[in-house]
Amino acid sequence: MKTKILSISEKDIEIAARIIRDGGLVAFPTETVYGLGADALNAQAVGSIYEAKGRPSDNPMIVHIARASDMGRLTPRLSPDIVNLIENFWPGPLTMVVKKKDEVPDRTTGGLDTVAVRMPDSKAALNLITMSDCPIAAPSANISGRPSPTRARDVIADMDGKIEAIVEGEDCRVGIESTVVDMTSGIPTILRPGIITAENIEAALGKKVQYDPALLADDQAMKNQGGEGLKPKSPGMKYKHYAPKAQMTVIEGRRDKVKAEIKRLKGLNERLGLKVGIILFEEKAFIEAAHDFFAKLRDLDGEEVDLILAGAMSDSDGVGFAVMNRMLKSAGYNIAKV
């Protein structure tokens, strides 16, 4: 298939919207990462997303909308908490899991009776959704298991020839995927951390939120069992994710010791003839780390390093926690404590 490369001009977005309306696939920028979109209410179109990505079919999609009133097409009722979060955080990097209406195909929700919805804070994405005149199901626009794409060239590397079109926009502002919060029980439950933190949501709702226990699982348990038995509520959390081509180790411990260990391991491995890449962000620069992390993994892949040594960031439940969630998955929970 010849993939059209489109710009974010109105004329090009109209071409992209027609492709979506006709049941095709379009990759497009959002503020978090690039998405791979199809008409969320067209089961066949959504099916081709799984094919293009090589994504396990029980891993549901996030459905993107452009107006809060579109929630009514997807879910039968809006609780006061849901309305509150819409008002506080949309458009923005917060996805809510809510009860689904029958019109939402099982293909979109991986057979669940709930649907994940968000309104992206990106003009190109909002224009595309509005012109398509349908909610757009979109997971990240990478081959399943690879680092999420935060730049148009990363999307082209993974998806050229596999989908109808790619809308080339700016690099993504946030750089990691949205926070996913399950709103289907009394206590809002974070299924995937992002730059909107538990604390942000608690401040808006005036009540406690909890984390899916699988998220907080002991590193070692995750490493030993890959999370099996912990049953994450968010099906996507159980797959191998974000992996660079190189082997990757996260070094965890006091900052000075982490730096020294990275230096030691780098020297050791280079003497053995290996090419070593390093990921070490400024100590509390969590937002920058979120912005750069996936791009850095892809750049190191491009440099064909053999080994990546990454310094852990410590932040138990803020943005740093969201970055560490991605970093540990990328490394397959391969952790060295110092």
Per CB under 5 A, 140 contacts Mg ion: yes
Cis peptide before 120 (omega within 30 of 0): no
Size of the site for ligand AMP (CB under 6 A): 21
> Which residues share a beta bridge with 4?
165
- Per-position x/- string for 126-145, each x denoting binding to ligand AMP as judged by CB under 6 A, each - no binding: -------------xx-----
Minimum distance between the CB of residue 41 and Mg ion, rounded to whole angstroms? 21
Q: Could you say which residues in the range 185-214 bind ligand AMP, by CB under 6 A?
A: 191-192
Q: Which of 8, 41, 115, 163 binds ligand AMP (CB under 6 A)?
A: 115
| CA proximity to 196, closest of 89, 305, 39 | 89
112 binds ligand AMP (CB under 6 A): yes
Other Cβ atoms within 10 Å of 111 Cβ, number: 12
Tell me the closest approach of the beta carbon of residue 170 to ligand AMP, in angstroms.
19
Query: With the C-alpha atoms ordered 255, 261, 267, 273, is the resulting torsion angle positive or negative?
Result: negative
Query: Which residues does 224 contact at the CB level (< 8 Å), separation at least 6?
Result: none
Q: Note every long-range contact of 212-218, with CB atoms under 8 Å and residues 24 or more positions apart, other chains counting.
A: 212/182, 212/237, 214/238, 215/190, 215/191, 215/325
What secondary structure letter does DSSP report for 184?
A: S
> What letter does residue 37 receive in the DSSP assignment?
E
CB of 177 vs Mg ion, minimal distance in Å:
6
Question: Could you say which residues in the range 219-278 bind ligand AMP, by CB under 6 A?
Answer: 233-237
Which of 134-142, 161-169, 214-222, 296-304 is the region at the interface with Mg ion (rule: CB under 5 A)?
134-142
Q: Are 4 and 166 in contact (CB under 8 A)?
A: yes
Cβ proximity to Mg ion, 251 vs 297, nearer residue: 297
Partner interacting with residue 25 (select from ligand AMP, Mg ion, none; CB below 5-8 Å by kind): none
Which one of residues 17, 40, 62, 276 is an interface residue with ligand AMP (CB under 6 A)?
62
Answer yes or no whether residue 158 interacts with ligand AMP by CB under 6 A: no
CB 306 within 8 A of CB 275: yes
State the residues that interact with Mg ion by CB under 5 A.
139-140
State the residues that interact with ligand AMP by CB under 6 A.
59-62, 97, 109, 112, 114-116, 139-140, 177, 180, 191-192, 233-237
